[in-house]
Structure 1
């Protein structure tokens, strides 16, 4: 099932995607999904970020080749950091090149959407707390990341976390293709099978420390091939079984 969040004539709702139409959900998708039977053509709506998370928990250096390309070792324990809710934007939304960086870079990632409140989740029960999966772009001010011990500014700036285009609930994330293109040219190509730590391991590790709420998002790391973006670039993240998330880079006025 593909669940989209959308806007139509100023109203925001969730819907289940059926070919080129959305069947509006009664309420929200966290729990039993109740379809209204009211169908709206996809072409008539504006897709929004599929969720508005209270927090985005991101994992760094979870692909060995990506860690190596930046001169880093694979860490003994997962490297985690937070992106605020204000970093989140949706498909086709503009992303803005921050004025404090000269090296904005893309990072294509599989995102996990949490379906219910959870804490101290055992690895073997991690699937029980997952609503589904979506595409993400962990936009990073690379020069700032290198220059500051904490990654808050480098990875948490406004529009640094595009998500979308929808949530896929029926998906095995163990071995999915991940691709990033810039202006149609392939820059990243990897598979989730190359993750150092699996999604259940990451959920268990993160929930040792914090409670995850419905709609919270975990970013699972990026494969090798990261690189720079310029104002005017169109960057697209495509994940097998989900779809494509595209955003254009703008200069903030």
Structure 2
């Protein structure tokens, strides 16, 4: 009888258990075709649409090594949170609410693409970050329910020109210039977004390292706060903030941002003349 009851309990819990399993999703090009897909070992299972739009398998599989991974989302909005780790704030006090700014969808590039520095960019820094990917339309959602609207997380680099940040009225070009938003390579679901190790490497040397549990404003708090003022759509992305200190990148450098359970985002830096 006990075994039967245990079996019924496990059966009832199965859907929740399946939802909690880690899954990896990509956007990729195979030949001339661009698709969303789900990773299955060394293969990509093609989906009919973005996974956050209920994309189901088409029955087509491609070898991962034969596909080119693209930025895993094409968001309508790219929002970012500043000063969200005390180690980045230094001796300054944390704000009472998340400090937000916008990047542009045109700033996004994929894993392996170059971060191209404009000729007059003289002080460009890396900012390794966890990036939140929205799964459902969110408007004025509570903090308690905010995670229900999150699809997953990926890895990002909030490239920032520090001199422009100080000199300009807005952070428009400092944060949103073309190629200043590396993203990817995969979106992961079924992991604890609130406790992942985030590291940044510059030319192979670790220059940032902290866990996302140290975010001043958590994933739920960020999503809830933004949704009070701006409606978040499925596929929109939110850069959640960078830890520690940052330093200048130069042409010829390679920046790698590593997020636990998600993977490595690697981008060479090129100085445009």
Partner of 1:90 in structure 2? 110
Query: Among 126, 132, 141, which residue is 1:112 paired with?
Result: 132
The normalised TM-score by structure 2 is 0.89
**For residues 102 and 73 of structure 1, do their structure 2 counterparts lie closer, same or farther at Cα, with a shift above 3 Å needed?**
farther
- Structure-2 residue corresponding to 1:58: 80
Question: Is 1:165 matched with 2:185?
Answer: yes
Higher helix share: 2
Q: Choose which of 88, 95, 102 in structure 2 pairs with 1:75.
A: 95
How big is the shift at 1:182? 1.1
1:9 deviates by 1.1
Q: Give the TM-score taking structure 1 as reference length.
A: 0.96
Q: Match of 2:88, SS?
A: helix
Alpha-carbon deviations, 1:70-96, whole Å to 9, x = none?
A: x74422221100001110111101110
Q: Which residue among 205, 208, 215 is the counterpart of 1:188?
A: 208
What is the aligned residue count?
251
The whole-number CA distance in structure 1 between the counterparts of 2:96 and 2:170 is 18
Which residue in 2 is equivalent to 1:236? Answer: 256
Mapping of residues 136-175 of structure 1, within 5 Å = 136-175=156-195
Cα deviation digits, residues 43-84 of structure 1 (max 9, x gap): 10111000011111100000011011xx74422221100001
Equivalent residues of 1:62, 1:221 under 8 A apart = yes
Report the equivalent of 1:16.
Answer: 38
Residue of structure 1 equivalent to 2:12? none
1:27-42 correspondence to structure 2 within 5 Å: 27-42=49-64
SS in 2 for 1:144: helix
Instruction: Give the superposition deviation at 1:34.
Output: 1.3
Q: Which residue of 2 aligns with 1:7?
A: 29
Aligned partner of 2:70 in structure 1 is: 48
Task: Compute the displacement of 1:165 (Å).
Answer: 0.5
> Is the Cα–Cα contact under 8 Å of residues 53 and 234 in structure 2 kept in the other structure?
no
**Larger of the two Rg values belongs to structure:** 2
CA distance in 1, matches of 2:196, 2:178: 28
Structure 2 contact 254–266 (Cα < 8 Å) conserved: yes
1:31: Cα distance to partner?
Answer: 3.5
**Superposed displacement of residue 146, structure 1:** 2.0
Question: Aligned equivalents of 1:227 and 1:40: distance in 2?
Answer: 39
Aligned to 2:121: 101
List alignment gaps of at least 5 residues for structure 1: none
